[in-house]
């Protein structure tokens, strides 16, 4: 009886071995090294916060058994975990299913693509292919095969350096100022009548000069222009003489008002311009008049350019001409005296002193300008907050306070200031840009891009900020264009990622902060991509000397994978 049982067990084993031999599963596992894998790119690469895996597998001729189905399961493994990717199935030519078919005699291949979110642990990782082969209910697990190693995560170096825009002040240290008075003359006369000097405009001019000539007035009288005229009626020779004489009278009159004022002693201080026939003034006065035939007279001016013909045609309108002679022509017999001055504003020292002692006396442009006189962010913020309190309807005060808070890294507070500015001017492009800066700093690149796109015309900073968003989306060539001629870390990074490591280095070298550790690190990466070991090692050494934390970053940076075993590399990142 025992012999019968023994024989039965041997039979089962023999049947099992025969079955395995027929299916070919063990042989396929034994020869799994004949399967070739190509991974593109290898190492993997992170772009737009995700990693795309492209795998092509090839089975050689006379390898793949006709009744076998294989489930190929890629996994990304790293220290402390793994990520399962989607599965692909292939089958032998006698399997009745709907998978990629691999021919026994000729072999075959499969192509596979998957996309997953990037996690930092993937910097040092392995891409494994795990195969489970089966024939009906019989399954065999192949040994895992490592087909790619590590992930290049250089786009993750992107810095959140979006640029806020300040609302510029309109402060002018020197403001031009003019005071004008007219002196009218009797027909065919050039003598200044006392009554003209008692007119309000001339009295105001005298009062202005009395004040302006005092040093405390903060006015610099630049000079006087006397423009003298004769009305366009009468002979040209007479009018020429009249206008010249009226200019002389005007000059004499105004010069007396300056008394001992030193600058007035210069002959060039007063300039005299004479107009013998004031047709322009005639036209202006006619247009302002209420004369019945004024349109007809104005038409005569447009029809004839010859002054003699003009005068003749106007006199032909006999009734109208009497009114012209009575109401219009007397206004043209004049000297116009114009005093030009520069009003001198507060000096930088005075503005700072006034803000500290009498801030409420400063005008909005003065207080906004005062904030630009210091590099101290706390003082700038104090000044802008005072501007907000004193001028609550000025969007620039709130916007600029937010601008300073961005520089201080206080993004939440900055956003509140920008919102206050937006409540004053809801569609202001500068404010839209700055709200976008806050969104970007908070990591919301989608919302940030919406704001930046609504900020057109605010300044070149908007394009820069859109460039940061373009890098985040892996649109590197657009980013290069948007960054234009900026020399910043992100502008250099975009050129590197767009395949231009040489110009990446040039952009770093023209940056104001080129001595920063990350600048040297980026140049080291550019050196690795160009296989320029001098550029790589010299800059990596400088980067780590400035920031020791970059030592660990370099050890896990697949940009340097080809150099991990190099003695010089190991001496730098020891």
Residue range(s) defining the domain that contains residue 566: 478-574
Helix (H, G, I), strand (E, B) or coil at 271: strand
Residues 248 and 337: beta-carbon distance below 8 Å: no
Q: What is the CATH number of the domain that holds 247?
A: 3.30.1330.60
- Token pair 């489930």 is found at 71
Instruction: Say what the pLDDT of residue 319 is.
Output: 73
Domain boundary among 465, 487, 516: 465
Tell whether 305 is covered by a domain: no
Extract the runs of DSSP E, i.e. beta strands, from 389-499.
Answer: none
Residues 448 and 469: beta-carbon distance below 8 Å: yes
Q: What is the CATH number of the domain that holds 407?
A: 1.25.40.10
Burial of 435-470, coded b for 16+ CB within 10 Å and e otherwise, reads bbbbbbbeeebeebbbbbeebeebeebbbbbbbbbb
Instruction: Say what the pLDDT of residue 295 is.
Output: 85
Specify whether 76 is located in the same domain as 187.
no
State the Cα angle at 167 between 165 and 172, rounded to 5°: 135
Specify whether 116 is located in the same domain as 182.
no
Specify whether 34 is located in the same domain as 92.
yes
Specify whether 383 is located in the same domain as 492.
no
Specify whether 334 is located in the same domain as 204.
yes
By C-alpha distance, which of 18, 22, 98 is closest to 66? 22
Tell whether 76 is covered by a domain: yes
DSSP, residue by residue, 36-79: EEEEESSSEEEETTEEEEEEEEEEPTTTS-TT-EEEEEEEEEET
Specify whether 245 is located in the same domain as 270.
yes
Specify whether 214 is located in the same domain as 340.
yes
Specify whether 212 is located in the same domain as 340.
yes
Q: pLDDT by residue for the chain (574 residues), tens digit each?
A: 444 434 343 333 333 444 444 468 999 999 999 999 999 999 999 999 999 999 999 999 999 999 999 999 999 999 989 999 999 999 999 999 999 999 999 999 999 999 999 999 999 999 999 999 999 999 999 999 999 999 999 999 999 999 999 999 999 999 999 999 999 999 999 999 999 999 999 999 999 999 999 989 999 999 999 999 999 988 899 999 999 999 999 999 999 999 889 899 998 999 999 999 999 999 999 899 888 888 888 888 888 888 888 888 888 875 777 888 888 999 999 999 999 999 999 999 999 999 999 999 999 999 999 999 999 999 999 999 999 999 999 999 999 999 999 999 999 999 999 999 999 999 999 999 999 999 999 999 999 999 999 999 999 999 999 999 999 999 999 999 999 999 999 999 999 999 999 999 999 999 999 999 999 999 999 999 999 999 999 999 999 999 999 999 999 999 999 999 999 999 999 8
Domain boundary among 344, 368, 398: 344
Instruction: Say what the pLDDT of residue 23 is.
Output: 62
Tell whether 444 is covered by a domain: yes
Spatial distance between the Cα atoms of 231 and 386, rounded to a whole number of angstroms? 56
Specify whether 90 is located in the same domain as 100.
yes
Specify whether 361 is located in the same domain as 340.
no
Instruction: Say what the pLDDT of residue 318 is.
Output: 57
Tell me the pLDDT of the chain averaged across its residues.
93
Domain boundary among 303, 318, 344: 344
Specify whether 333 is located in the same domain as 215.
yes
Specify whether 214 is located in the same domain as 338.
yes
Q: Please give the tally of structural domains in the chain.
A: 4
494 CB-side CA count, 13 A: 29
Tell whether 288 is covered by a domain: no
Torsions phi, psi of 380, nearest 5? -55, -45
Q: Which helix (H) or strand (E) holds 528?
A: helix 517-529
Tell whether 233 is covered by a domain: yes
Tell whether 164 is covered by a domain: no
Burial of 149 (0-12, 13-18, 19+ CB in 10 A): middle
Q: What is the CATH number of the domain that holds 110?
A: 2.60.40.10
Tell whether 52 is covered by a domain: yes
463 CB-side CA count, 13 A: 13
Tell whether 36 is covered by a domain: yes
Instruction: Say what the pLDDT of residue 20 is.
Output: 43
């Amino acid at each position: 009886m025992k012999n019968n049982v023994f024989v039965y067990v041997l039979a089962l084993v023999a049947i099992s071995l025969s079955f395995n031999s027929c299916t070919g599963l063990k042989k396929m596992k034994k020869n799994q090294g004949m399967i070739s894998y190509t991974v593109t790119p290898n190492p993997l690469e992170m772009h737009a916060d995700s990693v795309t895996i492209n795998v092509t597998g090839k089975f050689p001729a006379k390898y793949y058994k006709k009744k076998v189905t294989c489930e190929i399961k890629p996994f990304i493994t790293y220290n402390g975990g793994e990520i399962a990717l989607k599965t692909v199935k292939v089958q032998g030519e006698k399997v009745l299913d709907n998978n990629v078919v691999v021919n026994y005699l000729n072999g075959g291949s499969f192509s596979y693509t998957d996309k997953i979110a990037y996690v930092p642990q993937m910097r040092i990782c392995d891409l494994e292919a795990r195969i489970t082969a089966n024939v009906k209910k019989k399954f065999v697990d192949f040994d895992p095969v490592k087909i790619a190693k590590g992930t290049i995560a250089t786009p993750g170096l992107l810095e959140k350096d979006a640029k806020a825009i300040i609302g510029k002040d309109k402060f002018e240290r020197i403001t031009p100022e003019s005071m004008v008075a007219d002196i009218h003359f009797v027909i065919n006369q050039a003598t200044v009548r006392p009554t003209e000097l008692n007119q309000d405009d001339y009295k105001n001019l005298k009062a202005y000069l009395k004040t302006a000539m005092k040093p405390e007035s903060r006015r610099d009288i630049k000079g006087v222009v006397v423009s003298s005229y004769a009305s366009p009626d009468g002979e040209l020779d007479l009018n020429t003489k009249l206008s010249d004489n009226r200019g002389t009278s005007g000059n004499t009159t105004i010069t007396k008002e300056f008394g001992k004022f030193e600058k007035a002693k210069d002959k060039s201080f007063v300039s005299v311009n004479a107009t013998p026939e004031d047709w322009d003034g005639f036209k202006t006065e006619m247009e302002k008049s209420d004369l019945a035939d004024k349109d007809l007279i104005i038409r005569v001016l447009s029809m004839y350019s010859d002054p003699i013909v003009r005068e003749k045609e106007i006199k032909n309108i006999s009734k109208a001409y009497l009114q012209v002679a009575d109401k219009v022509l007397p206004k043209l017999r004049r000297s116009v005296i114009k005093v030009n001055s520069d009003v001198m504003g507060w000096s930088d020292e005075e503005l700072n002193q006034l803000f500290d002692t009498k801030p409420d006396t400063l005008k909005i442009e003065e207080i906004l300008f005062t904030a630009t006189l210091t590099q101290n962010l706390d003082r700038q913020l104090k000044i802008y907050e005072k501007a907000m309190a004193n001028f609550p309807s000025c969007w620039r005060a709130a916007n600029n306070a937010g601008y300073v808070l961005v520089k201080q890294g206080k993004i939440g507070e900055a956003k509140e200031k920008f919102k206050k500015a937006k409540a004053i001017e809801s569609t202001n492009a500068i404010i839209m840009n700055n709200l976008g800066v806050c969104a970007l700093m908070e990591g919301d690149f989608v919302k940030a891009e919406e704001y930046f796109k609504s900020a057109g015309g605010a300044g070149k900073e908007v394009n820069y900020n859109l460039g940061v968003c373009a890098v985040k989306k892996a649109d590197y060539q657009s980013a290069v264009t948007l960054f234009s001629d900026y020399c910043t870390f992100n502008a250099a990074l975009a050129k590197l990622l767009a395949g231009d490591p040489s110009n990446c280095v040039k952009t770093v070298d023209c940056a104001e902060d080129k001595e920063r550790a990350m600048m040297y690190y980026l140049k080291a990466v550019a050196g690795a991509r160009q296989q320029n070991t001098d550029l790589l090692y010299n800059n990596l050494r400088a980067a780590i000397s400035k920031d020791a934390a970059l030592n660990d970053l370099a050890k896990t940076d697949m940009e340097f994978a080809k150099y991990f075993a190099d003695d010089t590399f190991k001496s730098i990142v020891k």
